[in-house]
């Protein structure tokens, strides 16, 4: 799974990822935020982080 999130909701996303699979999620910062179309899954702001757990 991959969750896109803004700085405000990154902790929520991490919690969700840990709940889903009981391993530590990978937190990745999105570079060049202004050039990507991803939005936060919680509030719709531009996403700054990707929380991945695969």
Task: List residues near Zn ion by CB under 5 A.
Answer: 6, 8-9, 40, 42-43
What sign does the CA torsion over 43, 20, 31, 11 have?
Answer: positive
Shortest Cβ 49–Zn ion spacing (Å):
10
**Which CB, 24 or 43, lies closer to Zn ion?**
43
- Rounded to whole angstroms, the maximal C-alpha distance in the chain is 33
Shortest Cβ 44–Zn ion spacing (Å):
7
28 near 49, Cβ under 8 Å? yes
Shortest Cβ 26–Zn ion spacing (Å):
19
């Amino acid at each position: 799974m991959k969750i896109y999130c803004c700085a405000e909701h990154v902790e929520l996303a991490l919690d969700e990822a840990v709940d889903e699979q009981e391993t530590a999620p990978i937190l990745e910062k999105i570079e060049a935020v202004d050039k990507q179309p991803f939005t936060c899954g919680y509030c719709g702001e531009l996403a700054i982080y990707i929380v991945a757990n695969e």
